[in-house]
Structure 1
Amino acid sequence: MYNITLIPGDGIGPEVTKSVREIIAAAGVDVNWEIVNAGANVMEEEGTPLPEKVLDSIKKNQVALKGPITTPVGSGFRSVNVAIRQKLDLYINLRPAKILPGAPTQFENLDVVIFRENTEGLYAGIEHMVGDDAAESIKITTRKASERIVRAAFEYAKKHNRDKVTAVHKANILKLTDGLFKSVAEEVAQDYPEVEFDNKIVDNMCMQLVQYPEDYDVLVLPNLYGDIVSDLCAGLIGGLGVTPGANLNDELAVFEAVHGSAPDIAGEDKANPIALLLSAVLMLRYLDETQAADKIEDAIGQVLVEAEVLTADLGGQAKTTEITEEIINKIN
């Protein structure tokens, strides 16, 4: 039995996490879920959207599954999600973008894995006003953070038989910050001669992904570029409703839905659980529960191909409970 932290989140979070729990159980994986709450729904009771017990639970169990979280206005946090990553030093934001059978997309060949640096860059949040009419933000790039994210990308490529790692930057303009990231990537690449390496300027990278997505394999990017490019790739594979995500370091792993909490449909049994379910598939692979992960992923593919039981965002009219039941039926 696995002890796993579960953060249901806000809005549709409790509905999609319930769905995922049922499907994981149907796939034969025994989990003791330690439920802790974060976000807008705990603000009044706890006085913070991120109680310390949430972080303590993740540290103890080392693996967590997190639903979408709303950051309350005026809470003191720019983002609860960013706060979790920074407080736990989850320096890898892992976003696979793979087209599933039957996914709502015009593309055919896209299987890209994005490694986004999660702790610094412009998301370090060092900004201030200069008088009343100007605002200044400081971009932080360090050799340590750059090296560990690039090395993580190469290690992933080596482990999963990926052919190429592409470092993405804007070093032609940002010659010191992105120049450092680029030069560190070039240095690390020398330790992995069996993996092809190249680099791309971020605006060109976006164009290349839209025109020739099949040419790319593993991308490694600083924080802001990774945020943008990962959503671009999500659009190429069918949207955030079919896109998984994870935040990792060398000891801890938090798997999450990358979409919002959708409060407008909360409690209406309309939410699509597939994004969080695919994140749970990543979690199962992380735990070496490969057979269960394959079962769930195959079941999702069957449901998408048949296109008979789909939620509204995927072009159907099914309820959350109905698509959950259909996926379980495919597993069985």
Structure 2
Amino acid sequence: MTRIAIVEGDGIGHEVIPVAQKALAVLHPEYEFFPVGVGYGRWEQTGCPCADRDIAELKTADAVLFGAVTTPPMKDYQSVVLRIRKALDLYANLRPVKGEGFDIMIVRENTEGLYSGIEETGPDRATTLRVVTRTGTWRIVRAAIRLAQQRQGKLTIGHKANVLKSDVFFRDICIAEAEKAGVSYSDKFIDALSLDVLQHPQAYDVIVTTNIFGDILSDVASYLIGGLGLVPSANIGDRYALFEPVHGSALDIAGKNIANPIAALRSAAMLLDHLGDTKGAVRLESAIGQVLASGIRTRDLGGSAGTREFGDAVIRALGQRA
């Protein structure tokens, strides 16, 4: 039996993830769903945002559907997202941005870089160590190359090698691997790349970059399709996989039934595709498109539908296509 761990997390995660879970259950009533409670809310209740037993539970799942968690600016608070990514070794973060005339896959290194977690805070200085390893770079660029070979065959390497020696290291390894694989590639400074993606999105296929640059670039690119409420992501490792909307916990709108569930629904579609149900993933994406085409939209897209109402419309569309 396929087991899916459901992590709602904090804030609007409690609203958008139930919508996505419901869609998965319509397509696969045989799936077993089980909750795993982590996040800031869990910390407030127990003093621990993510325990060892939670990690162990996640490892029993065939895939994880993850909402969003709040990370408060507290010195001793450990990021739940970073802990899970490292514990499950989810080294590849895939963020698709697809619209009319363009289809971009941003492949972000997911376990090191400025999110290494190696930090010190003193009275006069705070330091975060940016870690770029040969092994980490090898495996992320090889994942990007595999995707490029399955798509249009074009790879763009995003970096800041004109300033950072660690990015020279990253760029050179990426170029060597691309040349070895015979994949067409180009490389661009990340600031210029961010602007050019907005101006000429149709010129890009697969983009590979380091952790924080990929985080920023994918948020920037979300502008092309209507904002963060529409962008899904996959966190992939050799053994485990976790799927989550790109947006955060959005505490300012939590509990108001106004959050856009499309990113969560599209993350569920990526989950289906990862588990081998390509047809189910296409059905879910088509249902979302059908609802949008009918004029039903959440407030961030200029409509008036609530989170639940939009989700119900997607479920009806899925039923019509059964």
Does TM, scored on the shorter chain, surpass 0.5? yes
Which deviates the most, 260-269 or 279-288?
260-269
Contact 1:49-1:71 at 8 Å conserved across structures: no
- Counterparts of 1:292 and 1:245, CA distance in 2: 17
Contact 2:108-2:140 at 8 Å conserved across structures: yes
Instruction: Give the aligned partner of residue 158 of structure 2.
Output: 168
Summarize the alignment of residues 13-24 of structure 1 with structure 2, pairs less than 5 Å apart.
13-24=13-24
Structure 2 residue matching 1:67: 3-state secondary structure: strand
1:266 Cα deviation after fit? 2.6
Instruction: Give the aligned partner of residue 175 of structure 2.
Output: 186
1:128 Cα deviation after fit? 3.5
Q: Please tell me the residue identity of whatever aligns with 1:170.
A: K
Which deviates the most, 72-81 or 48-57?
72-81
Structure 1 residue matching 2:260: 3-state secondary structure: coil
> Does structure 1 residue 151 correspond to structure 2 residue 138?
no
- Counterparts of 1:79 and 1:270, CA distance in 2: 26
Q: Please tell me the residue identity of whatever aligns with 1:300.
A: I
| Residues paired across the two proteins, number | 319
Q: Identity across aligned pairs (percent)? A: 42
Structure 2 residue matching 1:199: 3-state secondary structure: strand
Q: Please tell me the residue identity of whatever aligns with 1:14.
A: H
> Does structure 1 residue 250 correspond to structure 2 residue 241?
no
Q: Please tell me the residue identity of whatever aligns with 1:149.
A: I
Instruction: Give the aligned partner of residue 195 of structure 2.
Output: 207
Instruction: Give the aligned partner of residue 10 of structure 1.
Output: 10
Structure 2 residue matching 1:38: 3-state secondary structure: coil
- Counterparts of 1:189 and 1:148, CA distance in 2: 12
- Counterparts of 2:205 and 2:312, CA distance in 1: 34
Contact 1:167-1:221 at 8 Å conserved across structures: yes
1:138 Cα deviation after fit? 2.7
Cα RMSD of the aligned pairs, angstroms, is 1.8
1:161 Cα deviation after fit? 2.7
Structure 1 residue matching 2:5: 3-state secondary structure: strand
- When residues 261 and 189 of structure 1 are mapped into structure 2, their CA distance, relative to the original with a 3 A threshold, is same
Contact 1:6-1:66 at 8 Å conserved across structures: yes
- Counterparts of 1:91 and 1:227, CA distance in 2: 13
Structure 2 residue matching 1:139: 3-state secondary structure: coil
Q: 2:103 aligns with which of 111, 117, 132?
A: 111
- Counterparts of 1:34 and 1:127, CA distance in 2: 34
Structure 1 residue matching 2:118: 3-state secondary structure: strand
Structure 1 residue matching 2:194: 3-state secondary structure: helix
- Counterparts of 1:130 and 1:43, CA distance in 2: 25
Summarize the alignment of residues 35-54 of structure 1 with structure 2, pairs less than 5 Å apart.
35-54=35-54
- Counterparts of 2:212 and 2:46, CA distance in 1: 31
1:126 Cα deviation after fit? 3.1
Q: 1:290 aligns with which of 250, 258, 278?
A: 278
Summarize the alignment of residues 92-107 of structure 1 with structure 2, pairs less than 5 Å apart.
92-99=92-99
TM-score normalised by length of structure 1: 0.90
Q: Please tell me the residue identity of whatever aligns with 2:299.
A: A
Q: Please tell me the residue identity of whatever aligns with 2:310.
A: I
